A and B are shown apart, each in its own frame.
Chain A
Amino acid sequence: MPSITREEVAHLARLARIELSDDELDHLAPQLDQIIGLVAQVSDVAAEDIPPTSHALPLSNVMRKDENVPCLTPEQALSGAPAAEDQRFRVPRILSEEA
C-alpha cells in the first residue's frame, strides 16, 4: 500500500498553492511515495529521550538595537513588483464574488 495516495498529493498541492496538472500528479504521486519510504527510516531510530535540534549551533535570541537604519526607498522596494500603483504593490482581488 502506498504511504501517500494521489488524492493526498492533490490535497498537498492545494495547501502548497501549486496548480498541478493531472500528468504531474500521475508523475509526482509515486515519486513522493518512494521518497516518503526513504525518509520514514528516521522512525527506526529509538530517540524518545533525545532532545530535538532545530539549529546547528546553540543560540539564544539575537536582538538588534531599536534604532532607525537606512532601508530601501519605495521605488527600490517596488522595483521588482509584478504590478505597482501609487507606491503600493497592486495585487489581484483577495475576496471572491460570493463573499
Chain B
Amino acid sequence: MSDLTRKTAAELSELMASGETSSVEITQAHLDRITATDTAVHAFLHVDTDGALAQAADVDKRRAAGEKLGPLAGVPLALKDVLTQDGVPTTAGSRILEGWKPPYDSTVVKRLKAAGIVILGKTNMDEFAMGSSTENSAYGPTHNPWDLARIPGGSGGGSSAAISAYQAPLAIGTDTGGSIRQPAAFTGTVGVKPTYGGTSRYGLIALASSLDTPGPCARTTLDAALLHEVIAGHDPMDSTSIDQPVPPVVEAARRGDVNGLRIGVVKELGGEGYQPGVEARFHEAVELLTKLGAEVVEVSCPHFQYALPAYYLILPSEASSNLAKFDAMRFGLRVGDDGENDAEQVMRLTREAGFGAEVKRRIMLGTHALSSGYYDAYYGQAQKVRTLIARDFTRAYEQVDVLVSPATPTTAFAIGDRVNDPIAMYKNDLCTIPSNLAGNAAASFPVGLADEDGLPVGFHVMAPVMRDDLLYQVGAALESALADQWGGVLMSKAPELEVTR
C-alpha cells in the first residue's frame, strides 16, 4: 500500500471511514517515505515516530469504538518547528534552542490533536523564520523535491518540501512576509496565509507579532481548506485573535466557482524583475479565470512599492524586541557561565554563539531603527507607509472582490545563489509582503511550470480581511480547470525522488 502517500488528505479520510485502511497504516507509510527520502530532501528536523504511531493507534481505536471523528482524524501532518508541541523538541531552526522541549502545546497543536490529526514531526525552517530559502536554518538547508540543487522556499521550506516529497499530505506553516506562500509557489503546492488574527499565535515562537500568521499547506485546495477549518477560530490565549466565526473555507473549496467574481490584477506586481515563465503562467491563469466567468480588471496599488522597505523596518524592530527573551537565563543555550563572567557577558557570548548571521543582521537593524534619533524617520515612517498600503487595499476592494499577482518574481533559485546578497533574497517577498502589512488573507496556488526551467509557478490571490473563503473559491476553480487541461494536478509532473533503503 505504498501509494497511500500519493493520496490527498480528503481521500485518506474516506479510505479510513470505509475501513479500507487505518491511520496506523497511513502513518507508517508516510514514516517509511520520510526514511526513504529525507536524507536527500532534509525536510524534517525531528521525526516523532513513536508519538505519531501512538496518536494513529488512538484514532483507530476511537474509530473502531464508533466515536464520531472529524474529517481529518488519522491523517498525518508535518509541523513547522516554530510551533510548540508538548515534550517534542522545538528549535525554530536555531542553535540557541537546540534540545529545548517545550512544556506546553501551542493552540494550533492543541487543535490538530483535538481533530485527531497525527503529527509526524517538526519541519526545517530559516532560523526564527528569518529568510526565504531555508538556508538560514542552523541545521542545514532543505532541498526542493522538484530539483534537489534548488531551495524549497522559506522560511517554511521544510513544510513545503515535506508535502511535495509525499512525506505528508498536510503541513503547517507560518507566514510573516510570505513564508507559507512563497515555499508553496516554489514547490507546486497550495499555501494559505489566513487573515491576521484568524489563527492563533499562542505557542508560535514570535518573529514579528503584528504580522505572524499560522496557516495550512497541502497539495490540493480542498485539503488546505479542511486543515484551515481545524486550526482557525478565536483563541482567548491570543489577544489579537478575531472573535468571529471562521469564514466558510471548505464550502468555498468545494464550490470553486468564479462566475461573476471581480478580479483585480495588481499593476505594480509584474514587469521588470519578473521571470518571463512566471509572467506567462500568471497571465494564462488570469485568462482562464476570465473564461470561467470572472470579470478581470487592472488595479493600481501605488504604495505597494514601499511595502518591502517598510516591512524591513517593522519586522526587524519587532524581532529585535521579541528575541530579547533569548537571554540564556530561562531556557535554551548558555555559553560562558564560568563563575567569572557576569550575566550580561554570558548573554552576549550566548547570543553570539546561538544566533546565525541573518538573525544578527535583523536584530541589529531593528535595534538601529528603534534607537532614539532614528525612531521617527524609520519605524514611525514605516508605520505610516503601512497605513497607506492598507488604504490601497481598501480602495481596490471597492472595485474588485480579490486581487491577484504572481506569488513570486522568479521560480526556485539554486542553493547558495543569494546567501551573500541579503537584498536579492529580500526581493523574493515583493508580492507577498503587502498582505502581511495590511493583515488580509492571501494564498498561492500552483498554475504550471515556467518554460525556461521547468519549475513550478505560484498564482497569488489576496482577499479582504475575513474573506478567506474567496481565496479557496479562486484556487479551487483554477485547480479543477487546470487539472482538466493537464489530466491531473501539477504535482503529478514532479520528478520521482530517488529512494534510499
Contact = CB atoms under 8 A, between A and B. Distances in A.
Q: Do A and B bind each other?
A: yes
B312 A19 contact: no
How many interface residues does chain A have, given as a range?
35 or more
B240 A36 contact: no
Interface string A55-98: 11101001010000000100011011111000001011111100
Q: Count chain B CB atoms within 10 A of each CB in A27, A55, A81 and give the residue with the most.
A: A55
B303 interface: yes
A15 B103 contact: no
B475 interface: no
Nearest to B436: A56
A58 to B, nearest CB: 10
Given A15-B371, A38-B423, A9 B364 contact: yes
B347 A17 contact: yes
Nearest to B364: A12
Contacts of B101: 79-80
B378 A39 contact: yes
A1 interface: no
B385 A57 contact: no
Contact of B387 (A51, A93, A94): A51
A81 B390 contact: no
B459 interface: no
A83 B337 contact: yes
Q: Looking at chain A's contact residues, is the secondary structure mostly helix, strand, loop, or mixed? A: loop
B238 to A, nearest CB: 9
Q: Is the interface of B mostly helix, strand, loop or mixed?
A: helix
B364 A16 contact: yes
Interface string B305-336: 01011101100000010000001111111100
B196 A94 contact: no
B384 interface: yes
B104 A42 contact: no
Given A80-B332, A89-B330, A43 B364 contact: no
Interface string A15-56: 111111100100110011011101111111101001111111
A42 B211 contact: no
Could you say which interface size class chain B belongs to?
35 or more
A62 to B, nearest CB: 4
Contacts of A8: 368
Nearest to B102: A80
A76 B333 CA distance: 17
A45 B351 contact: no
A17 B344 CA distance: 7
- Residue with the highest number of chain B CB atoms closer than 10 Å, among A9, A50, A89, A96: A50
B331 A45 contact: no
Given A28-B361, A82-B333, A93 B388 contact: no
Contact of A89 (B197, B329, B377): B329
Contact of B348 (A18, A50, A89): A18
Contact of B240 (A16, A57, A72, A81): A57
Contacts of A94: 342-344
A6 B368 CA distance: 13
Contacts of A89: 329-330
A56 B328 contact: no
B100 A42 contact: no
B465 interface: yes
B346 interface: yes
A44 B306 contact: yes
Interface string B343-380: 11111110110010100110111011101000001101
Contacts of A76: 103-104
Contacts of B364: 9, 12-13, 16, 18, 28, 32
A7 B385 CA distance: 30
Contacts of B320: 16
Nearest to A72: B103
Contacts of A52: 380, 383-384, 386-387
22 contacts: A12-B371, A16-B320, A16-B364, A16-B367, A17-B351, A18-B352, A19-B348, A28-B364, A39-B378, A45-B306, A45-B385, A50-B384, A52-B384, A53-B384, A55-B240, A56-B438, A79-B103, A80-B331, A80-B332, A81-B330, A81-B331, A82-B334
Interface of B: 100-104, 196-197, 210-211, 236, 239-240, 242, 303, 306, 308-310, 312-313, 320, 327-334, 337, 339, 341-349, 351-352, 355, 357, 360-361, 363-365, 367-369, 371, 377-378, 380-388, 390, 422-423, 426, 436-439, 465
Given A53-B390, A92-B345, 17 more contacts: A16-B364, A16-B367, A18-B364, A24-B360, A35-B365, A39-B312, A40-B309, A43-B381, A45-B303, A50-B384, A52-B380, A53-B437, A54-B383, A57-B196, A80-B103, A82-B337, A94-B344
